[in-house]
Amino acid sequence: MSDSIDLLSIRPLLDTIGPYNEIPDEYNSKDALNALITSKILVIGAGGLGCEILKNLALTGFKDIHVIDMDTIDISNLNRQFLFGSKDVGKSKAEVAAKFVTQRLNDPNLHITPYFGKIQDKDIEYYKQFSVVVCGLDSVEARRWINATLVSISETSDIIPLIDGGTEGLRGQSRVILPTISSCYECSLDLISPRTTYPVCTIANTPRLPEHCIEWASVIRWPQVFPGQKFDADNPEDVEWMYTSALSRANAFGIDGVTKSLTLGVVKNIIPAIASTNAVIAASCCNEAFKLITNSNPILNNYMTYSGDDSIFTFTFELSKRKTCPVCGIVGISIMAQNWWSLQQFIDEITENKEVQIKQPSLTTGSTYLYLRNPPHLESITKPNLSKKLNTLIKPGDEILVTDPNLPMSLKLIVSFEGPENEPLQ
C-alpha cells in the first residue's frame, strides 16, 4: 500500500464547502485544489512541533514545502521527534526531516526543500515567494524576527499570513497572524511568562524545593568551586557535578525530588516536551494553513489556547492589536524613568520590561547617539554616557530609538521622568 497522497482523495473534501464559509458564492473547488497543490509553504523549525507540521502538510496535499532549521539532531530528541532515528544523531534536522517525509510518501509531485541554517540568513526576496509561513519554534527571538519581517513585506506587497504554534508541556497555543490586519506576534509580547526565579536568601539559607537546591548549586556553589569558569549544560561532567551537588544539598535538608533531568531542566530552563501536545497544536496549525489556502472555511480569529494538564479544553479569542506595538502599532511605548537613573540603569530596566524584552540594545535619539554597541569605535565614544544621568542626556517626552542586532525592527520609546534627583536610601 502506497503512502503517496492521491488527489482524488482530497478533492471530495474541497467539493463540500464548509458550512460556515462566508463567501459560498465565490468559492470554487477547482481553484481551491489548484491553490493547494501550487502554493509554496514555509515551515520554520523541524523539532518536536515542526516534525508534526511537516508530516501533516504533506499528508494534507501541499506539494511545495520548504523547511528551515539551524539545529542538529540530538539523542534526547528521539522520544518525540519521530522523523529521526539513532542513525541521524548529529545530522541536520531540516535535511533529515525533508528526506524522511519525501521517501515515506513516495509522491513524485511532492517537493520538500530543506535549509540547514538560520532564518536570518535569508533575504526579503526569499520570504516573498511563500503563500503562508508556519512556525514551530521554541525561540521568542526567532518569532519576533520572522513576524517583523513579514509585517514589513506586507506593508508594500501581498500579505503573507503567519501561523504560529507553541507548546509548553501539556499546554499550547496556535494563532493566525494576518500582517498589518490582525494583531502581530509583537502585540502579545507581554503575555510571555518570565523565567521562574528564586530569592537568593531562600536558596542560600532555607531551601524547601528541589529547584532551590539546584539553583544553589548553579548560582552559589559553582562560582565558588570553579571561579571564572562557565557552566556547560552540554558537558556530561559539568551536568554530573551540578546534579550531585544539588542532590547533596537536598539530602542535607531532607528534600526529595532532585533528579538529573530536573537539574537539566532548571539550569537550561527546559520545559518538558509532550508528544501529544505537539500533535494537537500541529494539527491546528495545519488546519489553518489548509483553510487559508483553499478558502473552504473561515480561519481562526485569531488565538487558540489548549490545556491538557487540568482536564482538556481549548479556548479561542481575538487578540487585539496593540497601539504601542513597535512592529504594527502607531505610537511609541511610554516609559516612566526615575530622575536618578543613569543611562545604564535605564537600559537594565527596559531589558526586563515585558513590552520591550530586548537583550543587546543600542539607543539613539533624533539628534544624538546615547549608546551604540557597534561598531567598536562608536561603542568606545558612547560608553561614557552609561554612567551619566538619563535626564541630562534627554528631555521629558523625547523619543528614544532602540535597536537590537537580533531584531529587524527598531522600538520607539517615549520617556517621562518622576521621582527625586538622588537615589533614595533603602
Count of H-run helices and E-run strands, the chain:
14, 13
The Cα–Cα gap between 258 and 268 comes to 15
pLDDT per position as a tens digit, 89-107: 999 999 999 999 999 999 9
201 is catalytic: yes
Q: Output the CATH code of domain 200-267.
A: 1.10.10.520
What percentage of residues in the chain have a pLDDT greater than 90? 53
Query: C-alpha cell of 275?
Result: 508528544
Q: What is the pTM of this model?
A: 0.77
* SS3 state at 423: coil
- Range with the lowest mean pLDDT among 79-88, 261-270, 297-306? 261-270
- 177 forms beta bridges with 162
Torsion angles phi and psi, residue 373, rounded to 5? -80, -25
Check residue 67 and give its pLDDT. Answer: 97
**CATH topology classification for 7-193+272-317:** Rossmann fold (3.40.50)
pLDDT per position as a tens digit, 9-64: 666 677 777 777 777 777 888 888 899 999 999 999 999 999 999 999 999 999 99
Instruction: Tell me: pLDDT of 213 over 50.
Output: yes
Instruction: Tell me: pLDDT of 5 over 60.
Output: no
Q: Which of 135, 187, 201, 328 is catalytic?
A: 201
* One-letter amino acid for residue 270 of the chain: I
User: What value does the mean pLDDT take over residues 305-325?
Assistant: 89
User: What value does the mean pLDDT take over residues 262-279?
Assistant: 82
* CATH superfamily to which 333-418 belongs: Ubiquitin-like 2 activating enzyme e1b. Chain:  B, domain 3 (3.10.290.20)
Domain with CATH 3.10.290.20 in the chain: 333-418
Domain with CATH 1.10.10.520 in the chain: 200-267
What percentage of residues in the chain have a pLDDT greater than 70? 93
